[in-house]
Amino acid sequence: MQRIGIVDLGSNTARLVVYAYEPGRWFRLDDEIRELVRLGEGMGTGRRLSPAAVERAAVALKLYADYARTVGLDRLEVLATSALRDAENGGELLDRIRPLGLDLRILSGQDEAALGVSAVANGFILDDAWVVDVGGGSAQLSRMRGREFADGRAYPLGTVRLTEAHLRTDPPRGGEVKALERTVEDHLGEAADAMARDPAPLVAMGGTIRNLARLVVKTSAYPLARLHGYFLRREDLERTVNRLLGLPLARRLRLPGIHPDRADVLLAGALLYRWLLRRTGQEGVWISGYGLREGAFFRHFLPPPHRIEHLRGFSVRNLFERFPQPTFHVEQVRRLARRLFEELAPIHGLGDDEKELLDDAARLHDIGMAVGYYNHHKHGSYLIERTHLLHGFSHREQALLMLLVRYHRKGTPRWGLLRALARPGDKKLLLRLAVCLRLAEYLERSHSGNVDDVHARIGDQDVVLGIETGEDSAIELWETRKQAPLFELAFGRRLVLEPTRRGRAGVSPAAS
CATH of the domain at 49: 3.30.420.40
Q: Are strands 231-233 and 284-287 parallel, antiparallel or unpaired?
A: antiparallel
Using CB atoms within 10 Å of the CB of residue 11, give its burial: 0 to 12 exposed, 13 to 18 middle, 19+ buried. buried
Q: In whole angstroms, give the CA distance from residue 255 to residue 139.
A: 25
Q: Are residues 96 and 167 in the same domain?
A: no
| Residue-range definition of the domain harbouring residue 65 | 2-106
Q: Are strands 13-22 and 451-458 parallel, antiparallel or unpaired?
A: unpaired
The answer to whether the Cα torsion of 253, 259, 265, 270 is positive or negative is: negative
Tens of pLDDT along 291-331? 999 999 999 999 999 999 999 999 999 999 999 999 999 99
Q: What's the whole-number mean pLDDT along residues 110-139? A: 97
Q: In whole angstroms, give the CA distance from residue 214 to residue 206.
A: 12
CA angle 118, 123, 129 (to 5 degrees): 65
Looking at residue 141, its pLDDT comes to 98
Looking at every residue in the chain, the average pLDDT score rounds to 95
Within 8 A by CB and 6+ apart from 509, the residues are 499
Looking at residue 37, its pLDDT comes to 95
Q: What's the whole-number mean pLDDT along residues 349-353? A: 96
Task: Let me know if residue 509 belongs to a domain.
Answer: no
* Out of 56-70, 400-414, 469-483, 491-505, least confident range: 491-505
Strands (DSSP E) contained in 100-188 are 103-106, 129-134, 139-145, 148-155
Q: What are the Cα distances from residue 377, in Å, to 101, 319, 371? A: 48, 16, 10
| Phi, psi of 332, rounded to the nearest 5 degrees | -65, -45
What is residue 427's three-state secondary structure?
helix
Q: Decide: 498 and 511 in contact? Cβ < 8 Å.
A: yes
Task: Let me know if residue 508 belongs to a domain.
Answer: no
| Phi, psi of 149, rounded to the nearest 5 degrees | -70, 120
Tens of pLDDT along 376-430? 999 999 999 998 889 999 999 999 999 999 999 999 999 999 999 999 999 999 9
Q: Is the pLDDT confidence value at 510 over 50?
A: no
Task: Let me know if residue 464 belongs to a domain.
Answer: yes
Q: Are residues 124 and 243 in the same domain?
A: yes
Q: Are residues 30 and 176 in the same domain?
A: no
Express the helix, strand and coil content of the chain in percent, nearest 5 each: 50, 20, 35
Looking at residue 503, its pLDDT comes to 56
Q: Are residues 199 and 255 in the same domain?
A: yes
Among residues 88, 106, 124, the one where a domain terminates is 106
Compute and round to an integer the Cα radius of gyration of the chain: 27
Q: Are residues 264 and 350 in the same domain?
A: no
CATH number of the domain enclosing 369: 1.10.3210.10
Within 8 A by CB and 6+ apart from 495, the residues are 462, 463, 465, 481, 483, 484, 487, 488
Q: In whole angstroms, give the CA distance from residue 133 to residue 291.
A: 8
Q: What's the whole-number mean pLDDT along residues 42-49? A: 83
Q: What's the whole-number mean pLDDT along residues 114-135? A: 97
What percent of the chain lies above the pLDDT cut of 70?
A: 98
Helix axis angle, 266-280 to 207-219, nearest 10°: 90
Neighbours of 119 (CB within 10 A): 25
Task: Let me know if residue 273 belongs to a domain.
Answer: yes
Q: Decide: 433 and 357 in contact? Cβ < 8 Å.
A: yes
Q: Are residues 92 and 164 in the same domain?
A: no
Q: In whole angstroms, give the CA distance from residue 291 to residue 421.
A: 26
Q: Is the pLDDT confidence value at 39 over 50?
A: yes
> Domain tally for the chain?
3
Q: Are residues 135 and 221 in the same domain?
A: yes
Q: Residue 36: beta bridge partners?
A: 13
Q: In whole angstroms, give the CA distance from residue 35 to residue 55.
A: 13
Q: In whole angstroms, give the CA distance from residue 465 to residue 482.
A: 14
What is residue 106's three-state secondary structure?
strand
Q: Are residues 133 and 243 in the same domain?
A: yes
Closest CA to 233 of 264, 189, 273: 273
Q: Are residues 321 and 282 in the same domain?
A: no
Among residues 106, 125, 140, the one where a domain terminates is 106
DSSP class of residue 98 equals G
For residue 179, which amino acid is it? A
Within 8 A by CB and 6+ apart from 485, the residues are none
Q: Decide: 81 and 11 in contact? Cβ < 8 Å.
A: yes
Task: Let me know if residue 511 belongs to a domain.
Answer: no
Among residues 106, 138, 153, the one where a domain terminates is 106
Cis amide prior to 305 (ω within 30 degrees) = yes
* Out of 95-104, 217-226, 234-243, 458-467, least confident range: 217-226
Q: Are residues 284 and 432 in the same domain?
A: no
Conformation bin of residue 503: beta by default, left when phi > 0, alpha when psi is -120 to 50? left
The answer to whether the Cα torsion of 33, 302, 149, 277 is positive or negative is: negative
0.85 surpassed by pTM? yes
Q: In what order do the strands lie in the sheet with 139-145?
A: 148-155, 139-145, 129-134, 202-205, 284-287, 231-233
CA within 13 Å, CB half, 335: 14
Q: Residue 494: beta bridge partners?
A: 462
Q: In whole angstroms, give the CA distance from residue 110 to residue 116.
A: 10
Q: Which ranges of 146-265 would DSSP assign to H, the alpha helix?
A: 159-166, 174-197, 207-219, 234-245, 249-252
What percent of the chain lies above the pLDDT cut of 90?
A: 94
For residue 306, which amino acid is it? H
Q: Decide: 493 and 459 in contact? Cβ < 8 Å.
A: yes
CATH number of the domain enclosing 239: 3.30.420.150
Q: Are residues 252 and 127 in the same domain?
A: yes
Task: Let me know if residue 356 belongs to a domain.
Answer: yes
Cis amide prior to 171 (ω within 30 degrees) = yes
Q: Are residues 133 and 218 in the same domain?
A: yes
Task: Let me know if residue 507 belongs to a domain.
Answer: no
CA within 13 Å, CB half, 430: 27
Q: In whole angstroms, give the CA distance from residue 187 to residue 166.
A: 15
Tens of pLDDT along 175-204? 999 999 999 999 999 999 999 999 999 999
Task: Let me know if residue 512 belongs to a domain.
Answer: no
Looking at residue 504, its pLDDT comes to 44
Within 8 A by CB and 6+ apart from 213, the residues are 227, 230, 232, 287
Tens of pLDDT along 461-489? 999 999 999 878 899 999 999 999 999 99
